[in-house]
C-alpha cells in the first residue's frame, strides 16, 4: 500500500445488533469495528452464523424486521457531484433518505444466490434500468443504452437480445453477471459482495471474481467481500477481518493474517483450508460448534473450542491486542503475562510452504 | 404464446370429451330404460327404441349424444317437467347463478386480496390481527349463517334490500346472497395472499430491489404483487366454479331460481338426464375456467410462456397436477426452478 493519505469510506464502530426470535433474543453482533478505505478491498471471513452478512445488511439498511440495533455507528463518507465530501451515519438516516441517496446510488450489493436474487417475472433489462430511472440518473433511452453496455462489460454475449430475457432463461453464472450489472448501474463507489461465488460452480467462480476485480480496478471502487472461502480472500483482498460469534477476532493486511496469524481461531481456519499436497490424510476441522448467541457469552466466545484456552478466557473477554500498525487480534495469548504459545506445527509448515508459493489450493 | 394457448385449448376439449364419455357410460349403467311401462309389449318397445335410436350400437349413440351436445341439446327432462328440453330449463337458471356467483367472486377476490396485502405489509400489528380474525371467521362460519344474518339485518330489520330474490330487481336482490357467498372466498384468498406475500417480501429479489433503493409503493407494485398473484390464481379458480354453479343453501334462503336448486330437485326425482346435463355443464365451466387460468399464468408468469427464441421449452413451474397437489396438500411451497445452463 502506498503511504499517501487514505480516505475512509466506511467506519463501523461498536455495532451491536439483536434479533428477536421465537426462542428469545439472539445477540448476533456484539461490538464490531470495521474500517474501509477508498479503493481498497476488505474481506470479512467467518463461519456461517458469525454475523458477517448481518453486519453488511446493517450497512445497507436492509436488516430483517425482527432486528434491533442496540448501539454503534456506521459512518459512510461519499462525495457530492461537486466533489465536496459528506459523512453520514447510516444507522441514523431515515429509511426514505437511505433508499433515496445511498442504496444503489452509492452503495450497491451483490447477493449470494443469483438463482433467487433476480425477480423472476421481470425482464433483466428492466431490472437493470430500474435503479437508474429510480435515482433519476438517466432518461429511459439513455438507461437502456447504458444497460446494454453494462451487460457487455460484465461479459454477457448478445447484450441487446439478452435485455429482454427473463432470469430463468439464463444460467447461474450469467445471472450473477446480471446481478453485478444491476449493482453497477448507478456507478456506486462501494460494492458489498455477499459470498458472490458460493452458489456458483468452481469454473464460474474464478471468472466472476476476476470480473469483480477488473471492474474494481477500472472504476476505483471500494469493495467488501463477505465470505467463508479463504481461497477467495487470498485472491482478492487487501485487508482481512476474521469474525467469530458476532465479533471481529483478528484483523490485518492479507499478508499479516495469512502468514502471521495470532488468533487460535484464525489458526483453525487456515488449518482447515484444503490444499492439494498436504501429507495428512484427514482435513483438519475446528472441534465443536459456534456458541448459541441466545445466551450471554462470558469470557472469550471461542474458548470452549480452543485447545490453547487459558483460565482467564473463561472469565474475561480479551481486548484487541495490537500486533502491528495494521494487525490486531483479540486473544489473551498476546498478553505479556500469557505463556508462550506457538501455532500448531502443521500450520507453521504449511505457512512456510505458502510463503514459498508451493501451496496450491483446491478449487483454484 | 399462441402455441401455448392452442395446446391448452386442445387439452381442454379432450378432457371435456373424456368427461362426456364417463357421464354417458354412467347413464348406460343406470337401471331401467325410459320406457319402463308394463303395458308396453316387446314389439312396441322395439319400435320406441328404434324411434329414439336406442337400438343402435353404443358407439353410434355416443356419437349422436356428443353431436347433439355441441348443438346445445341435452335431451329432455323426464320427471321435473315432462318433455321440456333441458337446455330450456337451464337457460333461465344458469344466468341467475352465474350472476350471483360472479358478484360473489369479484367481491371475495378483491376484498380478500386487499385484506391479505394489508395484513402482510403490517405483519404483527393490529391490522394483521384483525385481518386474521376476519379470515378465520370467514373460513369457519358456513355461508348460510351469514346469509341468515344478512337477510335478517338488511332485509328484515332495515328493509334496505329485498329478502327474497326478485327477478325484476336482479341486481339489488343479488347483493345479500353475493356477500354471504363471498365470505369463504374472501377469507381463503386473504389468508393465502398474506402468506404468499410474506414469502415474497422475504425473498432475495425483494432485498435486491430494496438495495437498488426502490421503496414504498413502487417496490410493492413492481416486484411483490405480480409474484404474489401467480399462486393465488390457482386457489381462486376452483372457488370461482363453486360459486358460479350456485350454492344450494344460500339459493334456498333467498329463493334464488338458480341451478343449485335444480340439481337437487333432479336428484330427488331421479331425473337422470337433468343430472347428467348439469354435471356436464359444471365440468365444462370448470375446464373453461382452468383454461382461462392456464392462459393467465402464461401472461403473468414468463416462465410458463413457451417462446421459440428462448429454446428452453420446459418451464420451471410445476405442471397442472403438481400445482394442485400443492394447493390441496398445502405443503412445501418452495418452487423448484430448473436451471437452464
Domains plus CATH for chain B?
87-272 (1.10.3720.10)
pLDDT value, residue B61: 86
- Count CA within 13 A, CB hemisphere, residue A216: 23
pTM over 0.90: no
Distance from CA of A175 to the nearest CA of B (A): 11
pLDDT number for residue B255: 85
A180 to chain B: closest CA residue: B208
Helix (H) or strand (E) holding B287: helix B272-300
Cβ–Cβ below 8 Å for A168 and B212: no
Q: Give the E-state strand segments of chain B in sequence order.
A: none
User: How far apart are alpha carbons A192 and A57 in whole angstroms?
Assistant: 9
| Contact state of A130 with B230 under an 8 Å Cβ cutoff | no
B301 touches A at CB < 8 Å? yes
A113: which chain B residues are within 8 Å (Cβ-Cβ)? 204
Instruction: Identify whether the C-beta of residue B322 lies closer than 8 Å to the C-beta of residue A177.
Output: no
B204, B208, B303 ranked by CB distance to A166: nearest:
B303
Q: How far apart are CA B180 and CA B145, in angstroms?
A: 8
A193 within a domain of the structure (yes/no): no
Q: Is A248 helix (H, G, I), strand (E, B) or coil?
A: strand
Longest Cα–Cα distance in chain A: 68
pLDDT in tens, A279-292: 666 778 888 888 88
Tally Cβ neighbours within 10 Å of residue A215: 19
Q: For position B169, what pLDDT does the model report? A: 80
Q: Which residue of B has its CA nearest to A101?
A: B213
Which residues numbered 42-71 in A keep a CB inside 8 Å of some CB on B? Answer: 60, 62, 65
CB-CB under 8 Å, B222 with A120:
no
Asked if A294 and A23 touch (Cβ cutoff 8 Å), the reply is yes
pLDDT given at position A251: 94
Contacts of A179 (CB under 8 A, 6+ apart): A110, A111, A114, A117, A118, B208
Size of interface A-B (CB pairs under 8 A): 102
In the beta sheet, which residues pair with residue A192? A109, A224
Residue with cell 474494481: A216
Q: Do A248 and A32 contact (CB within 8 A), yes or no?
A: yes
- Closest A-chain CA to B312: A169
| Structure confidence at residue B327 (pLDDT) | 53
Contact B204 A113 (CB under 8 A): yes
Domain count along chain A: 1
| Residue A201 sits at the chain B interface (C-beta within 8 Å) | no
Question: Could you tell me how many residues make up chain A?
Answer: 364
10 Å CB burial of residue B156 (0-12, 13-18, 19+) is exposed
Q: Is A218 helix (H, G, I), strand (E, B) or coil?
A: helix
Q: Which residues of chain B have pLDDT under 50?
A: 306-318, 330-341
Would you say residue A321 lies in a domain? yes
Do B161 and B172 meet the contact criterion of CB atoms below 8 Å apart? Answer: yes
A186 lies in a domain?
A: no
pLDDT of residue A361: 55
Residue A350 belongs to some domain of the structure: yes
Write out chain B residues lying below 8 Å of A119, CB-based.
Answer: 205, 208-209, 223, 227
Residue A321 φ then ψ, to 5°? -95, 135
Is A271 within a domain? Answer: yes
User: Has residue A27 been placed in a domain?
Assistant: no
Query: How many angstroms separate the first and last alpha carbons of chain B?
Result: 23
Q: What is the pLDDT of residue A133?
A: 92
Enumerate residue ranges in chain A where pLDDT < 50: 1-2, 362-364
Residues of A in contact with B207 (CB under 8 A): 62, 111, 117
What residues does A107 pair with on adjacent strands? A103, A190
Range of the domain at A294: 243-355
CA distance B337 to B230: 15
B206-245: burial string, b at 16+ Cβ within 10 Å, e else: bbbbbbbbbbeeebbebbbbbbbbbbbbbbbbbbbbbbbb
pLDDT in tens, A59-85: 998 988 889 999 999 999 998 878 888
Please check whether residue A171 lies inside any domain of the structure. Answer: no
DSSP secondary structure of B15-38: HHHHHHHHHHHHHHHSSS-S---T
- List CB contacts (< 8 A) between B337 and chain A: 115, 120, 168
Amino acid at each position: 500500500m502506498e503511504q499517501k493519505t487514505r480516505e475512509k469510506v466506511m467506519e463501523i464502530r461498536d455495532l451491536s445488533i439483536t434479533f428477536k426470535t421465537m426462542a428469545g433474543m439472539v445477540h448476533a453482533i456484539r461490538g464490531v469495528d470495521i474500517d474501509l478505505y477508498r479503493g481498497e478491498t476488505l474481506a470479512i471471513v467467518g463461519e456461517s452464523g458469525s454475523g458477517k452478512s448481518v453486519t453488511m445488511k446493517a450497512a445497507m439498511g436492509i436488516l430483517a424486521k425482527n432486528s434491533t440495533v442496540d448501539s454503534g455507528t456506521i459512518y459512510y463518507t461519499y462525495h457530492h457531484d461537486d466533489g465536496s465530501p459528506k459523512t453520514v451515519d447510516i444507522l441514523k438516516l431515515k429509511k426514505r433518505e437511505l433508499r433515496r441517496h445511498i442504496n444503489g446510488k452509492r452503495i450497491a450489493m451483490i447477493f449470494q444466490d443469483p438463482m433467487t436474487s433476480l425477480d423472476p417475472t421481470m425482464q433483466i433489462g428492466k431490472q437493470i434500468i430500474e435503479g437508474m430511472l429510480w435515482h433519476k440518473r438517466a432518461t429511459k433511452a439513455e438507461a437502456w443504452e447504458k444497460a446494454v453496455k453494462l451487460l457487455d462489460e460484465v461479459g454477457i454475449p448478445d447484450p441487446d437480445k439478452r435485455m429482454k430475457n427473463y432470469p430463468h432463461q439464463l444460467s447461474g453464472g450469467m445471472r450473477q453477471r446480471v446481478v453485478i450489472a444491476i449493482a453497477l448501474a448507478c456507478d456506486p463507489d462501494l460494492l458489498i459482495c455477499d459470498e458472490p461465488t458460493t452458489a456458483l460452480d468452481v469454473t464460474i467462480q474464478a471468472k466472476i471474481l476476476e470480473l469483480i476485480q477488473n471492474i474494481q480496478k477500472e472504476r476505483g471502487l471500494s469493495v467488501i467481500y463477505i465470505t467463508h472461502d479463504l481461497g477467495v480472500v487470498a485472491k482478492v483482498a487487501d485487508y482481512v477481518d476474521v469474525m467469530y460469534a458476532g465479533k471481529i477476532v483478528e484483523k490485518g493486511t492479507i499478508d499479516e493474517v495469512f502468514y502471521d496469524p495470532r488468533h487460535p481461531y484464525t489458526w483453525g481456519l487456515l488449518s482447515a483450508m484444503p490444499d492439494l499436497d498436504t501429507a495428512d490424510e484427514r482435513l483438519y476441522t475446528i472441534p465443536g460448534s459456534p456458541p448459541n448467541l441466545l445466551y450471554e457469552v462470558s469470557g472469550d466466545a471461542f474458548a470452549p473450542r480452543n485447545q490453547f484456552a487459558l483460565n482467564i478466557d473463561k472469565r474475561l473477554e480479551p481486548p484487541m491486542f495490537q500486533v502491528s500498525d495494521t494487525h490486531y487480534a483479540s486473544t489473551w495469548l498476546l498478553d505479556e503475562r500469557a505463556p508462550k504459545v506457538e501455532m500448531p506445527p502443521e500450520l507453521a509448515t504449511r505457512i512456510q510452504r505458502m510463503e514459498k508459493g508451493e501451496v496450491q489450493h483446491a478449487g483454484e | 404464446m399462441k402455441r401455448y394457448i392452442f395446446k391448452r385449448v386442445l387439452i381442454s376439449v379432450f378432457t371435456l370429451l373424456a368427461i362426456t364419455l364417463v357421464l354417458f357410460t354412467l347413464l348406460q349403467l343406470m337401471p331401467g330404460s325410459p320406457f319402463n311401462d308394463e303395458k308396453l309389449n316387446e314389439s312396441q318397445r322395439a319400435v320406441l327404441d328404434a324411434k329414439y335410436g336406442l337400438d343402435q350400437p353404443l358407439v353410434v349413440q355416443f356419437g349422436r349424444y356428443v353431436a347433439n351436445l355441441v348443438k346445445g341439446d341435452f335431451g329432455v327432462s323426464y320427471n321435473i317437467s315432462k318433455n321440456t328440453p333441458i337446455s330450456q330449463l337451464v337457460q333461465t337458471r344458469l344466468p341467475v347463478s352465474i350472476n350471483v356467483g360472479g358478484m360473489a367472486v369479484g367481491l371475495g377476490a378483491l376484498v380478500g386480496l386487499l385484506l391479505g396485502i394489508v395484513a402482510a405489509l403490517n405483519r404483527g400489528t393490529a391490522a394483521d390481527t384483525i385481518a386474521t380474525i376476519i379470515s378465520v371467521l370467514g373460513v369457519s362460519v358456513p355461508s348460510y349463517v351469514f346469509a341468515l344474518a344478512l337477510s335478517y339485518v338488511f332485509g328484515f330489520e332495515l328493509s334496505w334490500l329485498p329478502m327474497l330474490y326478485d327477478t325484476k330487481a336482479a341486481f339489488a336482490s343479488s347483493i345479500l346472497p353475493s356477500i354471504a357467498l363471498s365470505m369463504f372466498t374472501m377469507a381463503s384468498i386473504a389468508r393465502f395472499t398474506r402468506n404468499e406475500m410474506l414469502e415474497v417480501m422475504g425473498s432475495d429479489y425483494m432485498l435486491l430491489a430494496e438495495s437498488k433503493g426502490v421503496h414504498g409503493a413502487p417496490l410493492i407494485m413492481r416486484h411483490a404483487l405480480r409474484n404474489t398473484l401467480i399462486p393465488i390464481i390457482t386457489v381462486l379458480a376452483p372457488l370461482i366454479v363453486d360459486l358460479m354453479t350456485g350454492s344450494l343453501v344460500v339459493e334456498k334462503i333467498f329463493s334464488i331460481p338458480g341451478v343449485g336448486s335444480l340439481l337437487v330437485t333432479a336428484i330427488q326425482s331421479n331425473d337422470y338426464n337433468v343430472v347428467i346435463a348439469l354435471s356436464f355443464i359444471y365440468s365444462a365451466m370448470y375446464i373453461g375456467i382452468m383454461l382461462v387460468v392456464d392462459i393467465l399464468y402464461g401472461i403473468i408468469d414468463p416462465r410458463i410462456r413457451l417462446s421459440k427464441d428462448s429454446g428452453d421449452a420446459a418451464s420451471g413451474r410445476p405442471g397442472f397436477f403438481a400445482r394442485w397437489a400443492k394447493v390441496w396438500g398445502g405443503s412445501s411451497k418452495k418452487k423448484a426452478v430448473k436451471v437452464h445452463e
